[in-house]
Amino acid sequence: MAQKRALYMRALLRSYLPALVFIVLGVGVGVAFTLANSFLGPKRPTKVKREPYECGLPSDVRKNFRFGVSFYLIAMLFILFDIEVVFLYPIAVQLEAIGVFALVEMIVFVVLLLVAFVFVWRRGALEWK
């Protein structure tokens, strides 16, 4: 019984070893680059370098600044449509193996996605106010 368990544990470790090595190397490279940047990088902070900067423009956001509802609506719609498109990739990769049924389902999915997009567009949800 103990010998079977040892063989099982050895096989389990062998199957997870590549993943463990990958994780250790990824963390190691990340830590090494972070440390190298902090030790070797230039340290000349100025007032301009400390200011927040986004999208090519200096940020004018204050503590009491509130985003409008349209910002969140557009952000949610972007995420929704972006995630929906991700579902097309696995079907496209395995389309030959899955067959015509998957192609028809994918076409129905894209048509429904297009209908939803046109509905949102017509309602004015994509207008920046």
Q: Where along the chain do its domains lie?
A: 64-129
Architecture of domain 64-129: Up-down Bundle (1.20)
pLDDT digits (tens, 9 = 90+) for 65-95: 677 777 788 888 888 888 877 888 888 888 8
**How far is 61 from 74, CA to CA, in rounded Å?**
19
**How far is 37 from 31, CA to CA, in rounded Å?**
10
Q: Has residue 48 got a pLDDT over 80? A: no
**46 confidence band (pLDDT: 50, 70, 90):** confident
**57: helix, coil or strand?**
strand
Compute the average pLDDT of residues 104-112. Answer: 88
Amino acid at the residue 51? E
**23 confidence band (pLDDT: 50, 70, 90):** very high
User: pTM of the entire structure?
Assistant: 0.45
Q: Where do the H-state alpha helices sit in 41-99?
A: 47-50, 69-86, 88-93, 95-98
Least confident segment among 1-15, 41-55, 58-72, 109-123: 58-72
